[in-house]
Amino acid sequence: MEWRILGSFGGSSPACRMTSFLVDGTLALDAGSLTQALTVPEQERVSRIVLSHSHLDHVASIPFLVENVFADGAKTLEILLTPEVHDTVKRHLFNNDLWPDFTRIPSQLAPAVKLVQMLPRVPFAVGHLTLTPIPVNHTVPTCGFLVEEQGGGAVLFTSDTGPTQEVWEAANRCPNLRALIVEVSFPSRLQRIADLSLHLTPQTLAQELQKLSRQVPVYLYHLKPRYLEELRQELSTTPFPQPVVELQQGETYRF
């Protein structure tokens, strides 16, 4: 499957200070920067968004994608989310206050946006892909995703998390795992801030990778722009149990 990296933090364009991946051209995994990174024809191909959690760097482009492509109700954008994220999106985003309630516009029968609930640990199919949300350890309810292609490989995306357990067990269990996309946000000098905000530093990332019982390519995302150079320097000297490499903003990976 093809993963296009629209927003993974490690770069200098505004789009990369958010989180979004485009899988096989039509499925967005998180939606921080869809409208900044994609042309309008490319935005028109996006039919579904799967959200890992409600933080702004993962949802910020949804209102503008709806405005650009779906507002007339000619087709519907499906947003898959857990019950907790569903409540937050309804209460704080599509609330007729911050943004119009596009789950009822232009009409309740043909809305621009349909919110579809998914449950942690319950796999669901999206075309030729099966996604399993796996709870991780962040300041708001958050799921990483195991994304499996029928008859092909699998990718595991941790989303934002501090030290956690279940995703590593899922990685160890998945026979076709081709890649892990793991967060690292702050340099270890700021360990206290990372622990409070439930993110990883190179130090805690190294401990987390000890939980992996297999060798698989590990790609990093969510390097906070303010500490990018310091993080890169620390990552290059940290003894990880297996090699890690920064995900390249704007690149397309085939897994």
The footprint of Zn ion (CB under 5 A) covers 55, 57, 160
Q: Which of 119, 35, 135, 53 is nearest to 92 (CA)?
A: 53
Shortest CB 131 distance to Zn ion, Å: 19
Q: Are 16 and 247 in contact (CB under 8 A)?
A: no
Choice between 76 and 191, CB closer to Zn ion = 191
Shortest CB 170 distance to Zn ion, Å: 20
Choice between 157 and 253, CB closer to Zn ion = 157
Residue with tokens 């206290």: 192
Shortest CB 102 distance to Zn ion, Å: 23
Q: Are 34 and 50 in contact (CB under 8 A)?
A: no
Shortest CB 22 distance to Zn ion, Å: 17
Choice between 111 and 141, CB closer to Zn ion = 141
Choice between 43 and 158, CB closer to Zn ion = 158
Shortest CB 185 distance to Zn ion, Å: 8
DSSP 8-state code for residue 24: T
Choice between 4 and 138, CB closer to Zn ion = 138
* C-alpha span between 94 and 102 (Å, rounded): 6
* C-alpha span between 113 and 106 (Å, rounded): 10
Long-range contacts of 67-71, Cβ-Cβ distance < 8 Å, separation of 24 or more: 68/35, 68/40, 68/43, 69/40, 69/43, 69/44, 70/102, 70/112, 70/113, 71/102, 71/105, 71/106, 71/112
